[in-house]
Structure formats: structure tokens, C-alpha cells
């Protein structure tokens, strides 16, 4: 039942993927900009059960992996996002203090984005990728956190609306 509902979310993620690739990457936002798909996947996971969170991470990770700008091997982002989305869903599941308060979700997602990128970076280093200077990495991570904290509140209500329509009204904020 949940799995079937999960597949209903595919058009939403595909639209976000297209938006990311065709619009967000054009804007050349300062401080590295934002990855909309990453933020949406983590918010979606924060509103879901851990199983759906992991599946969300798997789907969104695959989309990020097929993106031409992904430097790592196929499956690199998938692995990172399965873990990140599962962890966020696990932290929020059954705890209304987290799930009932949008500020907590935004905080969790912002931390999640930085953590996911850090894990991606570490995994990339293990796979032999060049990652650049420490100052540049710190700048990009800070930029990601900044943009996530700005964008998340703007899209949280919309994502919550779609999530509630697919998985039931309990998850609506």
C-alpha cells in the first residue's frame, strides 16, 4: 500500500529534478547555490516513515546520479541519500515534537543537507576524487546550509501538502 503510494510521488520528484537541471542551475546563485532535489528529498523523508524515507533517498539519489554534473560513479549520491533520508525519517518518526514543528523540520533538513554533502565528500575521497581546498569546501557547505535555511520554509508547506495528499492527512503541517 505504502509502496504503491510512494510511486505516486515520482512525478513530483521528476518535476523538481527538471527544475533543478533547467532553472536552478541557470541562476548562478552566490556561495554555490542550492540543490533543490536534495532539499525536497530530505523534507519528504522528514515527513515519512523510515522505509519510505529510504525509498525516497534511493529515488532522489538515482536522479542526482544521472545528472551530468555528478562527478562520482553511479550510485554515489544514491548511497548517501538512502542513509541521509532514512536517518532523518528515523529521527522524526513518532516524535511529534519534531514533526509537528516546522522550525524543527527546517533545522533537521539544513543539518541533513550539510551532513549528506559531507558524507558524499568523504565517500568521494575514498573513491579517489579530488575535492579541492578545505576553505572552498567550508565555504560551499556554509553556502548550502544558508540556502537550505532560506528555501526550506518557502517550499515546506507545498511539499507537506503533496505528501499529505499521497500518504494521508496526518503528515500535513
DSSP states of 106-139: HHHHHHHHHHHHHHHHHHHHHTT-----HHHHHH
By the rule CB under 8 A, 78 interacts with another protein: yes
Residues 94-113 that bind another protein (CB under 8 A): 94-95
Helix (H) or strand (E) holding 141: helix 134-167
Helix (H, G, I), strand (E, B) or coil at 151: helix
Beta carbon nearer to another protein, 65 or 161: 65
Instruction: Count residues binding another protein (CB under 8 A).
Output: 62
Task: Give the residue from 80, 46, 48, 84 showing the smallest Cα distance to 64.
Answer: 80
By the rule CB under 8 A, 124 interacts with another protein: yes
By the rule CB under 8 A, 169 interacts with another protein: no
| Residues 63, 37 contacting (CB under 8 angstroms) | yes
**Positions that interact with another protein (CB under 8 A):** 18, 20-30, 32-35, 38, 49-51, 54-55, 57-58, 61, 65-79, 82-83, 86, 90, 93-95, 117, 120-121, 124, 127, 129-133, 136-137, 140, 143-144
Amino acid at each position: 500500500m505504502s509502496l504503491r503510494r510512494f510511486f505516486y510521488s515520482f512525478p513530483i520528484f521528476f518535476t523538481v529534478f527538471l527544475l533543478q537541471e533547467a532553472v536552478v542551475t541557470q541562476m548562478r546563485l552566490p556561495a554555490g547555490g542550492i540543490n533543490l532535489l536534495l532539499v525536497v528529498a530530505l523534507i519528504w523523508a522528514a515527513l515519512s516513515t523510515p522505509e519510505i524515507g529510504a525509498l525516497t533517498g534511493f529515488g532522489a539519489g538515482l536522479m542526482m546520479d544521472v545528472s551530468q554534473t555528478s562527478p562520482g560513479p553511479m550510485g554515489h549520491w544514491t548511497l548517501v541519500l538512502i542513509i541521509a533520508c532514512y536517518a532523518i525519517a528515523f529521527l522524526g518518526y513518532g516524535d511529534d515534537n519534531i514533526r509537528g514543528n516546522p522550525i524543527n523540520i527546517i533545522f533537521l533538513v539544513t543539518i541533513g543537507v550539510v551532513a549528506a554533502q559531507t558524507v558524499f565528500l568523504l565517500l568521494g575521497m575514498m573513491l579517489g576524487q579530488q575535492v579541492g581546498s578545505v576553505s572552498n569546501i567550508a565555504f560551499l557547505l556554509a553556502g548550502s546550509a544558508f540556502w537550505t535555511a532560506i528555501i526550506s520554509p518557502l517550499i515546506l508547506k507545498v511539499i507537506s501538502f503533496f505528501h499529505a495528499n499521497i500518504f494521508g492527512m496526518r503528515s500535513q503541517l
